[in-house]
Structure 1
Amino acid sequence: MQIVSCPSCGAEVQFKSHASVVAVCEYCRATVMKDADAVKDLGKMSSVLEDFTRIQIGTAGVLGGRNFTVVGRIQLKYSAGMWNEWFLMFDDAGTGWLGDSSGLYTATTEMEATGSLPAFDAIAPGQLYTINGQRFTASEKRVAQCIGGQGELPFRVGEGWQARVADFRAGGAFVTLDYSDGDVPALYNGVSVTLEDMNCQLLRDDEQIKASAGKYRGKLDALECPSCGTGIKYLPGVTTALVCPSCQAQLDAAGPKAQILAKGESVERVRTTIPLGSTAMIFNVQYQVIGAMVRTDDEGTAWTEYLLYNTRANFFWLVETSEGWSRSNVMTTWPQWLSTSSDRVELENATYNKLYDYPATVQWAAGAFNWRVAAGDVVHVFEFENGPTRLAAELTKEELTWSRSTKVSFDQLNAWFGNAMRADPLHKMPNEALPSTNVATKFLWWILGLNAIPLIFNFSGTFFYVVIAILAIYLPAKLFAPEKGKK
């Protein structure tokens, strides 16, 4: 360990790892760089947005039989969201990284590359590439900006520093190509992990998380939409991507003030079966519905997806369709998929046959999400089935993800959510009149018109009784039908 004085404020700054090049002073936020026997002040580093991560500087664990300690962090933001990269120091003096994104963790260590590697601009998610003799599928391609940091880091980094990275997967294997320093990338070998698998110690508990989450020079846990003034409540630190339920404006809550990213059309709130903010006790863990969106396919079929979150568990989705409900989880072990034109995939010695292949478009969204979402967003979906289990690949120009879903009975949902569940029809919009009322109205007017034809030529007192009979049927239906905009 090397201890130096901060050239900005004089406070003690520690370098625990010999591989660390810079450290962020915890008192004045100065970025301190080691330079031979001296230190330099590279300027102030922005504070990280305190999120719901359980990891902190000092967290320790075991990875591949090697003990490690977390000594630093950088926070990166890209067009669709943000994530943390934690710098690890191993007891054997080695170093590595722990990626922390939406409750999913990937541990990586640098390795030597053999053979040629693809150019960054040539990488496309969903395509196959050979890296160190093994075939991988490109899963993600990001250009991200550093928005904050803390602790020790192995390279010079500051506000505005840009990372260019591409991730690749093959089953449970994971590699990253880092092009941040130029056209020749650094290669990192990785694996998907959990905090429990790594036997992590000194994690933040729920009270620490609640006390600090969302703090960016002050706690931000409720705000008014800068576009329309609607009050928005959300879990600070879980995500910075918000969608106003009233005007559909996209909001970024990563700073002390919410910023409008894009204005949406003013629309009335969609009445979802599960209201935003509802809580459910699922397998002895309390989850909260933090976001909801309605998507449609190319034939106009609509379904609703609800995002659920707990501080000690990963995000997952509840999907409501006209056929029923299902629970969907993001997969860390991917199936074998030869190409996007293949009609089957292999996973854990089982074959899944292709069911559907269609574009899915977001029609409406509200609440908080672990990526930036807006009406009009389109992904291409490939669905595969084996018995009661379905696998789905969602592909865009920047990312490919896989999820696994299983059916959930309505009785089970009622047991989870209780009285929070609504019994309204799927995707019923506030201004929709009941179909039965519309049909009855048209039918009665048709009867009235049919009876009026002969009366034009042979008017009699019977016309009065026909009108009275029709009004006796029509008026009660009209009076007791739901008003527009109400449910």
Structure 2
Amino acid sequence: MAETSPQRAYRAACPGCGAPVEFRSAQSTHAVCGYCHSTVVRDGDTLSRIGKMAEVFDDFSPLQLFAAGRFNGRGFTVVGRLQYKYREGSWNEWHAVFDDGSSGFLSEDNGAFVFTLPTTLQREVPAAAQFRVGATTAISGRPFSVASNEQVSLAAAQGELPRLPPLGQPFAMVELRSNAGEAQVLGIDYGTQPPTLSLGRSVLLDDLQLTGLRAESAKEDKARQFACPNCGAQVAVALAGSQSITCGACRSIIDLSQGIGAELRHAAQDEPVQLLIPLGTQGQLQGAQWQVVGFQHRMGAEPGDSDEQFGWDEYLLYNAKRGFTFLVDAEDGWSVVKPTTGAPVLSGNAQSATYLGTRYALKDSYNAETTYVAGEFYWQVQRGQKTFNRDFESGKNLLSLEQTPNEVTWSGGGRIDSDTVAKAFGIENRKALLQRGDALPVGGKSGIGCVTVIVLFAIILVVLLLFSRCTSCDPRVENCSSSGSSARSSGGSFGGFSSGGGHK
């Protein structure tokens, strides 16, 4: 594919150091000098220096300045980047300029990407405080659900930009999601006055036909290793966008959201959980090759009932072209799920939800908490993170809602049987340990032979052992219920609340 280039461009000397600063889009008003990091503002043909920008921290994103691709049949070039931070981590928004000089943003979203274009409202933009998380509102005649309302701040920037909020000063950013027709994401950025609006949809990097991505040399082990701040052991980071990782030696959770070069925060954790599928395992699932890169154990309890608790496991899977998805191990079976781009419609009494034309019935409502983590994560995972969850189902299809005061995350997927999991990850020798609610009695012929008796005896023995395990197990570290009651489903509390929200 030929490299894209704008029809017109403007270049002037940086007021700080004299190096050339280029503007490819007439809509761009700000830039960060690549040499002295001066922040400059453009007024006609004049550049004025208004300060100095903090350097972006190296998060090893596959994107970089001057990467090129195509979106909706139009060529574009990445010319700038905004790095935002909020209470749970950080994310990038990449400024893309099209061949005609117009621009959009390629933003991080739930371990994937959303391509957004500028938009406007036919009325004045409401104040951020008027958007209540979980509420439904109409924007330009279309229904949207408020997915997040966060206080964020600009951590750093580089390149050419159409907007530039004050460095380090908090401001509101609201995100709304719609399921009307094609799932859409509407962002309202209150870092400028008037607020900036953008509307977009989910994209795969492979579909954008991108060229000029970061070279493989950027992933050298030497550049991605550091000493654990708790025990000093070497920790290697394998994924480009990891925001959190656990130390293999002391099991501490290490915060990477400010980059490896920044001060690393850590949290010690005990009570190690035994993983049925080890980290690093690769498997063929749903037509793609996945690698297990992260794991978290979570606990649930019905509101007002602390006596009965149940635990489940979530394996974070990664594919270079498809991004991230979750393999969930609950008492009643396995499921494969991922965050949705659009927002399902919750009924007035919250007893059902509708998504992409399918109605899902409420199965469970409960409080959830993360109790143990291992591996790498694209969000800043922590022990003790809490959410309120609702799980819905329609046959083998699952839908889950996770909510905190500032964020709502929907996830969807479907059940799979334990045989599929065992074969996908090459662990048939552990097949018995993977069996859950999908392990049903096997019908037989009339008449019972000796072999059948032996098999039935073995099955009964295994069931008794499993029953004993579940009635005496600790749901903080095992996939079971503390009361020994009927099997409970995580429904796919898929990935934790911090996996969703405002392009994070």
TM-score, normalised relative to structure 2: 0.75
Q: Which has the larger radius of gyration?
A: 1
8 Å CA contact 2:137, 2:144 repeated in 1: yes
Q: Give me the whole-angstrom Cα distance separating, in 2, the residues matched to 1:420 and 1:23.
A: 56
Q: Secondary structure at the match of 1:297?
A: strand
Q: Give me the whole-angstrom Cα distance separating, in 2, the residues matched to 1:214 and 1:374.
A: 27
Larger RCO, structures 1/2 (Cα 8 Å, 6+ apart): 2
Q: Give me the whole-angstrom Cα distance separating, in 2, the residues matched to 1:47 and 1:213.
A: 20
Q: Give me the whole-angstrom Cα distance separating, in 2, the residues matched to 1:111 and 1:258.
A: 36
8 Å CA contact 2:24, 2:101 repeated in 1: no
Q: Secondary structure at the match of 2:76?
A: strand
1:345 aligns with 2:353: yes
CA apart distance, 1:268: 4.5
> Which aligned pairs between 1:53-452 and structure 2 lie closer than 5 A?
53-115=61-123, 117-157=125-165, 159-171=167-179, 172-182=183-193, 185-197=195-207, 199-204=208-213, 208=215, 210-213=216-219, 220-244=223-247, 246=250, 248-252=252-256, 254-257=258-261, 259-261=263-265, 263-265=267-269, 267-282=270-285, 285-298=288-301, 299-339=308-348, 341-419=349-427
Q: Give me the whole-angstrom Cα distance separating, in 2, the residues matched to 1:75 and 1:11.
A: 23
CA apart distance, 1:327: 0.9
- Give the counterpart letter for 1:323 in structure 2: D
Distance 1:285 1:360, change over 3 A: same
Count of aligned pairs: 421
Q: Secondary structure at the match of 2:371?
A: strand
Deviation sequence 1:259-305 (CA, Å, 0-9, x none): 4545345x153211112232334456443222111111103111110
Q: Cα RMSD (Å) of the superposition?
A: 3.1
Q: Give me the whole-angstrom Cα distance separating, in 2, the residues matched to 1:277 and 1:12.
A: 45
The structure 1 segments of at least 4 consecutive aligned residues displaced by more than 4 Å after TM superposition are 419-426
Deviation sequence 1:72-96 (CA, Å, 0-9, x none): 1111121112221121223333222
Q: Which residue of 2 aligns with 1:30?
A: 38
Deviation sequence 1:208-227 (CA, Å, 0-9, x none): 1x422599xxx542333212
Q: Which residue of 2 aligns with 1:450?
A: none
Distance 1:99 1:262, change over 3 A: same
Identity of aligned residues (%): 31
Q: Secondary structure at the match of 1:418?
A: coil
Deviates more, 1:306-315 or 1:251-260: 251-260
Q: Give me the whole-angstrom Cα distance separating, in 1, the residues matched to 2:261 and 2:94.
A: 26
Q: Secondary structure at the match of 1:359?
A: strand
Q: Secondary structure at the match of 2:426?
A: helix
Structure 2 segments unaligned to the other structure (5+ residues): 1-8, 302-307, 435-463, 469-504
Structure 1 segments unaligned to the other structure (5+ residues): 427-434, 440-487
Distance 1:96 1:16, change over 3 A: same
8 Å CA contact 1:100, 1:106 repeated in 2: yes
- Give the counterpart letter for 1:189 in structure 2: L
